[in-house]
Amino acid sequence: MNRYFPVFLDLTARSCVVVGGGPVAERKIRGLLDAGAIVTVVAPDVTPAVAVLAEQGMIAHVARRYRAGDLAAHRLAFVATDDPDVTAAVADEAREWNIWVNAADDASQSDFILPSVLKRGRLTVAVGTGGASPALARLVREEIEAVVDDDYAELVDVAADVRHELRQRGRASTGEAWIRGVDTDVRRLIREGRRAEARARLLARLEAEP
């Protein structure tokens, strides 16, 4: 059983390659673009949505089958095809170039796997099962969605504002102080759309901490 180290990567302006152009590849492409990556797609055929991204200049599309050397100069590689020989070849080349590779539905060929992700503004919750069951990871993520609603996006923004203000004042707060500070009243004010009051209360609570 593989053991994975959970991490969030900054892919801004990093070059990534996706081998494959079907629906699975499309989801990976969109995720990479959302993360600010520079994306090259290698596939003879792509979905209509991927074709539009290429036409708009959002991605580079190499309209042919994968060839050795296609991974050169990229930071991450993704392969999403139904051809196991292509998957194996991409994985082998990635390791030759010391490029991390993810093979869709094949953890044995992957250096990293992708979690099921929930996003609420700047808040990201990632759920993984170590590759044991992506479907179960999705189920758990959907259960979390019922608890972590859209108010959390606003809460994160308020917390960021308050953290910046404390730093400007030369104040530091512990994790425990933050847990106490984000109390039911702060959450209620967020739900009611009273952001300024929520910010003021949270700031006051943290400044009152010894």
Last residue of a domain, one of 89, 114, 139: 114
Asked if 44 and 102 sit in the same domain, the reply is: yes
In a domain? residue 126 = no
Residues 6+ apart with CB under 8 A from 116: 126, 127, 128, 134, 137, 138, 140, 141
pLDDT at 131: 84
Q: How many domains does the chain have?
A: 2
pLDDT at 1: 64
Last residue of a domain, one of 114, 136, 160: 114
Position 37, amino acid: A
In a domain? residue 175 = yes
Q: Where would I find the H helices in 35-183?
A: 48-55, 84-96, 134-145, 151-168, 175-181
In a domain? residue 24 = yes
Cα–chain-centroid distance for residue 194? 29
In a domain? residue 81 = yes
The stretches in the chain having pLDDT less than 70 are: 1
27-54 residue pLDDT tens = 999 999 999 999 999 999 999 999 999 9
146-156 residue pLDDT tens = 999 999 999 99
pLDDT at 121: 95
Answer yes or no: are the C-beta atoms of 171 and 133 closer than 8 Å. no
* Rounded distance between C-alpha atoms, residue 66 and residue 196, angstroms: 53
Question: 76: domain CATH number?
Answer: 3.40.50.720
In a domain? residue 5 = no
Last residue of a domain, one of 69, 97, 114: 114
* Rounded distance between C-alpha atoms, residue 140 and residue 182, angstroms: 25
In a domain? residue 109 = yes
Asked if 19 and 110 sit in the same domain, the reply is: yes
pTM for the structure as a whole: 0.86
Strand partners, 120: 123
Answer yes or no: are the C-beta atoms of 13 and 78 closer than 8 Å. no
* Rounded distance between C-alpha atoms, residue 71 and residue 69, angstroms: 5
In a domain? residue 128 = no
For the chain, the first-to-last Cα distance in angstroms comes to: 46
pLDDT at 209: 83
- Which domain range does residue 176 map to? 151-207
Position 77, amino acid: A
